[in-house]
Amino acid sequence: QRCSDMTGRIIRGIGGFYYVAVASSGMTEGQPDIYECHARGIFRKDGKKPLVGDYVEIEPVPDEHGLIGRIEGFLPRKNELIRPAVSNVDQAIVVFAIRSPEPSLVLTDSFIIQMMMQDIPVILLFNKKDLADKDYAVSLAEIYGDSGVKAYPVSARDEEDVRMIKGMLDGRTSILAGPSGVGKSTLLNAVCPGASMETGEISKKLKRGKHTTRHSELFAVSEDTYLMDTPGFSAFGVPDMDPEELKVYYREFFPYEGSCRFNGCSHTHEPDCAVRHAVYAGEVNRNRYENYCSLYDELRSRKRYR
Ligand code: GDP
Ligand code: ZN
């Protein structure tokens, strides 16, 4: 009976259930209703598994214990990420701390590259700006001035910054990534106060099982704003690729491509390299260039030992 179908979104999949968020008529504090849908029997004709982030049609099943539903169909995906496994993502919010912990800007670059490879726009937040002087915070953000990535110094404890971040998230689905200790949970709780509570509920359920693995989960900030925390995301280095491909992810180099003496210049050691000249002339950020060189070396040595 199609007419009773509702459209919702899978926000987590766990223990044989998919949890589907549906905008409710009597929305409590802007929060959607969550329907528990049994995973059994949900297989797409093309053999793909449902993903967190999928928009689905569900049919409510009357039940006195709560909101139960059945997934009846899938809406087309805008995109799907492999790491983390999630669909329909609009942007990645990559968080580092200005200090405590000190940021590794090579790691920052590999995060950015991972996202660029999956065509996901990146916003970079340097959190804990209260721990550094303002000039330093601004200079960190300026490193990315020509990179195509927007970077902002922020503090999770600053109301105005939290408002700005909420504005960035509004109406979009964002994934939140970054090493541990930089303030991701604090930010998540500042923009979405219900988030930690939900996480607690899930871990209680999980403790009855053997393992307490954290699963991908979308937090509904509001009806159309979703945020996904990506635990353990920092463990990955620069994605595997041909070292010669790396420069594609450094937009600052683009104006100089083709002006080097050698075709296929790697911009690392060749004479008359236009990119290196631009670095000396202060036209290309030295920090970004040095990170490029160390990632290039890493990819080269990986290739050698394969
Ligand atoms: P996560 O591991 O990335 O989720 O980091 P947490 O949210 O757990 O934060 C790590 C520590 O940094 C906690 O002690 C937070 O209170 C602290 N913290 C988070 N944001 C800020 C900030 O803007 N300024 C300062 N000074 N500390 C912060
Ligand atoms: Zn060159």
123 touches 152 (CB < 8 A): yes
Tell how far the Cα of 202 is from the centroid of ligand 1, in angstroms.
Answer: 22
Does ligand 1 come within 6 angstroms of the Cβ of 99?
Answer: no
Residue located nearest, by CA, to atom 6 of ligand 1: 183
- What are the tens digits of pLDDT across the range 109-142? 999 998 898 899 999 999 999 999 999 999 999 9
Confidence check: pLDDT of 192 > 60: yes
Span 219-266, pLDDT tens digits: 888 888 999 877 656 556 788 899 999 999 999 999 999 999 999 999
| Mean pLDDT, the chain, integer | 86
Q: Is 179 in the pocket of ligand 1 (CB under 6 A)?
A: no
What pLDDT digit, counting tens, does each position of 30-88 carry?
678 899 998 766 665 566 688 999 999 999 888 888 899 988 888 999 999 887 889 99
**What is the Å distance from ligand 1's center to 183 Cα?**
4
Among all bound ligands, the one having the nearest atom to the CA of 159 is 1
Tell me which ligand sits closest to the C-alpha of residue 263.
Answer: 2
Distance CA 98, CA 133 (A): 10
Q: Output the six-digit token pair for 59.
A: 């049919």
* Run of H or E residues at 184: helix 184-191
How many helices (H) and strands (E) would you count in the chain? 7, 13
| Atom number in ligand 1 closest to CA 95 | 3
Separation of 186 CA from ligand 1 center, angstroms? 6
> What pTM value is reported for the model?
0.87
Nearest atom within ligand 1 for CA of residue 179: 3
Distance (Å) from CA 142 to ligand 2 centroid: 23
